[in-house]
Amino acid sequence: MEFFLDTADVDEIREIAAWGILDGVTTNPSLIKKSGRDFKQVVAEIASICSGPISAEVTALDTEGMIEQALVLKDELPDNVIIKIPCTPEGLAATKALTDKGIKTNVTLIFSSSQALMAAKAGATYVSPFIGRIDDTGHEGMNLIAEIMTTWDNYPEITTKVLAASIRHPTHVLQCIQLGAHTATMPAKIFRQLMKHPLTDKGIDGFMKDWADVEAAGNA
């Protein structure tokens, strides 16, 4: 599975990238606003830290506007930036046009397997189903991942990757792994929680105590 970081905080990106496991970064207008920085500057800096796909989202709602913004972004930002597009009829048309130009896309705000399949047919490089937001409505978000992966199994010609988004806790990630999702994008705190285990900490503490005793004996 690819591990993407969902943030526009470059300090968090540097932290997780230093672990050697970061495959990409997703951003959106809300995350850019939270950073308080210029959109293109922050995306360019992110792309210089992580060599994997960096999702930069268009803000236009019409097809021509999305295409125009995407072409500007691809012209002005590093090559590893891909274009994030909302899952609307206009977004699908823009995705098809950009795919025909060889531009990679991430179709976002997906809440049904039919939306995911249509985005894949339009040529999306990634589709982003939002797990946590479905959970917020009282339904089970992981069911959507299961439905999409079953659809993908039925049509092996699909090459679009399923990018699980709106991840709220480590169990979401583990369930995505078990269902075979290709990618998960998550906040930095989820990365840290996935790495943390009390038995690891206990083991290290025990090793260090024993080693201190060895050194003490050697210096006696």
List the catalytic residues. Answer: 84
For residue 220, is pLDDT > 80?
no
Domain that holds residue 182: 2-219
> CATH number, domain at 172?
3.20.20.70
Give SS3 for 111: coil
Give SS3 for 162: strand
Give SS3 for 72: helix
Q: What integer best gives the mean pLDDT of the chain?
A: 95
For 30-81, write each residue's pLDDT tens digit: 888 888 888 999 999 999 999 999 999 999 999 999 999 999 999 999 999 9
Higher-confidence position of 19 and 206? 19
For residue 175, is pLDDT > 90?
yes
Task: State residue 179's pLDDT score.
Answer: 97
Dist. CA 81–CA 75, nearest whole Å: 10
pTM here is 0.91
Task: State residue 209's pLDDT score.
Answer: 87
Higher-confidence position of 164 and 204? 164
Dist. CA 211–CA 213, nearest whole Å: 5
Instruction: Judge whether 70 and 42 are in contact, CB under 8 Å.
Output: no
Task: State residue 29's pLDDT score.
Answer: 84
H or E segment and range at residue 26: strand 24-26
For residue 105, is pLDDT > 80?
yes
Number of domains in the chain: 1
Task: State residue 30's pLDDT score.
Answer: 85
| 204-214: average pLDDT | 82
For residue 218, is pLDDT > 80?
no
Tell me the pLDDT band of 219, cut-offs 50, 70 and 90. confident
